[in-house]
Chain A
Amino acid sequence: MEVNEYLDVFIEESKEHIQSLNDHLLELEKSPENIEIINEIFRSAHTLKGMSATMGYQDLANLTHNMENVLDAVRNRKLTLNVDTIDVIFNAVDALESMVFDIIDGGEGKKDVTNLVRKLDAIENGELNVSNSSSETKASVSEVSNIQEGLDQFELTVLQQSKERGFNNYQVTVQLQESCLLKAARVYMVFEIFEQIGEVIKSTPSVTELENENFGYKFTVILVTKDMADAVEQKIMKVSEIEKVTVSELEISQNNGGIESQTDEAEEGAVKKEKAKSHQHLTSKTIRVNIDRLDTLMNLFEELVTDRGRLEQIANTLRNSELQETVERITRISGDLQNIILNMRMVPIDQVFNRFPRMVRQLTRDLNKDVELQIIGAETELDRTVIDEIGDPLVHLIRNALDHGIETPEVRKANGKSEKGILKLSAYHSGNHVFIEISDDGAGINRDKVLAKAIANGLATKEQAAHFTDQQVYHLIMESGFSTADQISDISGRGVGLDVVKNTIESLGGSISIDSDFGNGSTFLIKLPLTLSIISVMLTEVQDEKYGIPLSSIIETAIVHKDEVMSAHNKQVIDFRGKVVPLVSLQKVFDVPGEGETGDYYSVVIIRQGDKMTGLIVDSFIGQQEVVLKSLGNYLTDIFAISGATILGDGQVALIVDTNALIK
């Protein structure tokens, strides 16, 4: 078996399971008694162990094995969880994650986990103060005995009932060939078959040991199925490297006492299992597709759109009604196709949000704060490219809110607030944008303190400061070289943080605004475009060249008579609704060859960034258009005032103006 083939699947699924471990552990911490959650965690750990053992990542398997032991003890109520034990389990999950990341980076997924293993052992044995008892947790193989003896009351009941309902109970012994290399893989395949035809009630050695290859070449299971004995045998023999399969009828001694009373319970169990199964069927309706393939699809589609544009032109000149009809149909269909392709690239923001509960938990413990994280709208969808970029800025804002925003429980109490702070993270759609809001009920922004610091750092003068609006003051904290916390901590910044956040968001075509109520908390609102690849632009013409100006930064367009243009500080300005707006000629900025403007009127596009405005003079407006934003490639980077290019219907390239660069 070529392992590499399965590596991608392994990595993806491991990541999912680790995420699920994290999520459920957090839930478990809130309700330590909930056996459902423990079961869920156990299942994830178990699958992870099986997979890593099969792939040969022994350290990963060992650690999960020990984790599983602890969870098993919890499940069987031999052990109760407390914060410290959960901490150890979290640490174990972290270790698992780092190993998986090592594997992703091409490593062997090796890591020294003996310390963690010992801690887990200690928890399992009920002694948290780690002694030197490095008891080997290698499961002993000696337990293998007559399988029937090991059946508990519940299993007996199930067997009995299935018999009554016309199922067959078999004891199936499978003997693997001694040349078999990946025993766990074969076991897995055999169990796959078992699960197709019926239900495995018990297995000796246990499934866990089988997956760890802690057995000879033989294992026995009790199987409940409708198939006949030889049918079962044949099906299993289809798995290669199986030496022999013996299927024998399993007789259960009539065990009267207490069985009746448990019948209902068993039925309930069966129903639950069925529910779980139907749920699995629902979730398997997706497939994984490499993002590169989606990008290729998108590129091909864009070419199609370009050709479609040409077809439309041809059809219009030929005026053949049949051709025109066909082209119209193509236009319609490709429009639908575009929607589908764009939707395929959308992923829920949960992909970014899901790591935050864990992070917040850790940070609040480090900072000795008590904070509840509320997540709203995790299902909100965003383009994949935006998702990839937005993670770090959000991490920063959350750290910032926890460190500088929310106060310690003592301070909160003294201020008459509840000791538990609330950090709210919400995402929602509005128009063509996605909004992400990070709000806390912490200290809020102290206007005077910010101003004092800004003046001290030379970001503003005293005279300016007096006239600043609250918004302007809050924006100061996102200037570089600013940190409002009196103490610099490890958690967030030395004043190099928020400006980076701001820059990242702006480079994504978004914006960030801050609102704050001193003493009652602050809110950071991030506005992002739904997708980076398709934007609405106003196409304009400057001499023979076409430039697209992103609609998101345009306030309006205007035709201005030459006489209305005034001059201030040697710069052209106009009076736009009572505001003085500087004018910039695109022809001059871009050195467009051709004669200067003629005529008495200027076509002006008024653009805005924050509360600054600028008017761009163009020759004419062509119209509003949805275009695919493309980069200029790796050779031409940092072109002044150009953020990218797009391909127009006629196949020509038009440049997209970076309006932020033109506003001073």
Chain B
Amino acid sequence: MVETTRESVKSIVFQLNDEEYAMPVELVGAIERMMHITRIPGTPDFVKGVFNLRGVVTPLIDLRLRFGFEEQEYTDSTRTIIIHHQNMDVGLIVDAAYDVVDIPIDSIEPAPEVVGTVQIDYIDGVAKFGDRLLILLNIDEILTKSALEVHFDNKEKLV
């Protein structure tokens, strides 16, 4: 989880649906441009498929779809943030990723009931950073497997 012993949290800032989100750099392995994606059958739509990350087959999650936003064509600024978390390597597709900032711990507030358009479950807190509002994401909730399993159960009947 987010480290709290330090004065500030170094975080990657990325953009999704015109809002800014942040994630601790420790989780991030790399930021990649879009590459060829191979669809995986029988997965929820937010799992875009897998791609070849330097020899490792890595699953991709479209964060827009994960949060229930409207799907958008990928552009030149679309990026994949590669996350290493609990033995999982997963790529998160975001609209853009461009910044690394130090977020002071004391500027982080618990998530208000309504912030932007993302469900409260996915949010660890919000940070006021200058005149920007950064939403800190809860990676455990994003990668939770229960979201996958519900879908698989529906698929079992196919054959």
Residues of A that sit less than 8 Å from B by CB: 299-300, 302-303, 306, 545, 584, 588-592, 630-642, 644-645, 647, 651-655, 661-662, 664
Give B85's nearest chain A residue, CB to CB.
A635
Question: Residue of B at shortest CB range from A654?
Answer: B38
A664 to B158, CA, bound (A): 12
CB-defined contacts of A644 to chain B, threshold 8 Å: 57
Which range holds the interface residue count of chain B?
Answer: 20 to 34
Q: Give the CA-CA distance A647 to B51 in the complex, in Å.
A: 9
**Shortest distance in angstroms between A631's beta carbon and chain B's nearest beta carbon?**
7
Distance in angstroms from B146 CB to nearest chain A CB is 13
Residues 34-49 of chain B, each 1 if its beta carbon lies under 8 Å from chain A, else 0:
0110111111000101
User: 14 new A-B pairs (CB below 8 Å) besides A632-B40, A639-B43?
Assistant: A303-B54, A545-B39, A590-B42, A632-B59, A635-B143, A635-B148, A638-B152, A639-B41, A640-B41, A641-B42, A642-B40, A645-B50, A647-B57, A654-B38
Q: List 12 A-B contacts (CB under 8 A).
A: A306-B52, A589-B41, A632-B59, A633-B56, A634-B88, A635-B148, A636-B50, A641-B159, A645-B57, A653-B52, A655-B38, A655-B40
Shortest beta-carbon distance, A540 to chain B, in Å? 14
A589–B52 CB distance below 8 A: no
Tell me, rounded to whole Å, the shortest Cβ–Cβ distance linking A569 to chain B: 14
Contacts A645-B50, A652-B36: A635 and B41 contacting too (C-beta < 8 A)? no
The total of Cβ contacts below 8 Å across the A-B interface reads: 98
Q: Which residues of A contact B47 (CB under 8 A)?
A: 636
Tell me, rounded to whole Å, the shortest Cβ–Cβ distance linking A304 to chain B: 9
Does B126 lie at the interface of the complex (its beta carbon under 8 Å from any beta carbon of A)? no
B141 to chain A, nearest CB (A): 14
Contact yes or no, A306 B55, CB < 8 A: yes
Tell me whether chain B's interface is mostly helix, strand or loop, or mixed: mixed
Contact B56 A299 (CB under 8 A): yes
Which listed residue (A592, A632, A664) contacts B50, Cβ 8 A? A632
B78 within 8 A of A: no
Complex CA gap A299/B53 in Å reads: 11
Instruction: Tell me which residues from 88 to 117 in chain B have a Cβ below 8 Å from any Cβ of chain A.
Output: 88-90
- Say yes or no: is B58 at the interface (Cβ < 8 Å to chain A): yes
Contact (Cβ within 8 A) A630 B56? yes
A296 to chain B, nearest CB (A): 10
The residue on B at minimum CB distance from A545 is B39
Given contacts A303-B55, A631-B57, A662-B159, contact A639 B40 (CB under 8 A): yes
Contacting pair B36 A591 (CB below 8 A): no
Assuming A632-B40, A636-B40, A653-B57, is B52 touching A647 (CB within 8 A)? yes
Output the least CB separation between A230 and chain B (Å).
60
Q: Which of B43, B55, B88, B156 is A647 in contact with, Cβ under 8 Å?
A: B55
Report how far A642 CA is from B89 CA in the complex, Å. Answer: 19
The residues of B with any CB-CB pair to A shorter than 8 Å are 35-36, 38-43, 47, 49-52, 54-59, 86-90, 143, 145, 148, 152, 155-156, 158-159
Q: CA of A306 to CA of B56 in the docked complex: distance in angstroms?
A: 12
Q: How far is the CA of A632 from the CA of B36 in the complex (A)?
A: 16
Least CB distance from B147 to A in Å reads 11
Minimum CB–CB distance from A480 to chain B (whole Å) comes to 19
A375 to B69: give the CA distance in the assembly, Å: 63
Residues of B within 8 A of A636 (CB): 40, 43, 47, 50, 59, 148
Contacts of B54 in A (CB 8 A): 303
Residues B88 and A653 in contact, CB atoms below 8 Å apart: no
| A138 → chain B closest CB, angstroms | 49
Specify which chain B residues have a CB less than 8 angstroms from the CB of A654 in the assembled complex: 38
Q: In the assembly, what is the distance between CA of A632 and CA of B47, in Å?
A: 12
Name which residue of chain B comes closest to A661, CB basis.
B159
Contact A633 B52 (CB under 8 A): no
Distance of A637 Cα from B145 Cα, bound (Å): 9
Which chain A residue has the least Cβ–Cβ distance from B38?
A653
Which of A299, A635, A645 is the one whose CB lies under 8 Å from B88? A635
Task: Please judge, given known A-B contacts A634-B88, A636-B50, whether A592 and B57 are in contact too, CB under 8 Å.
Answer: no
Pair A640/B152 contact, Cβ less than 8 Å: yes
Q: Which residues of chain B are near A590, meaning CB under 8 Å?
A: 41-42
Chain A residue numbers with a CB within 8 Å of B58 are 633
Q: How far is the CA of A592 from the CA of B43 in the complex (A)?
A: 12
User: In the bound complex, how far is the Cα of B57 from the Cα of A652, in angstroms?
Assistant: 10
Name the distance in Å between A337's Cβ and chain B's nearest Cβ: 15
Bound form: Cα–Cα A483–B87 in Å: 39
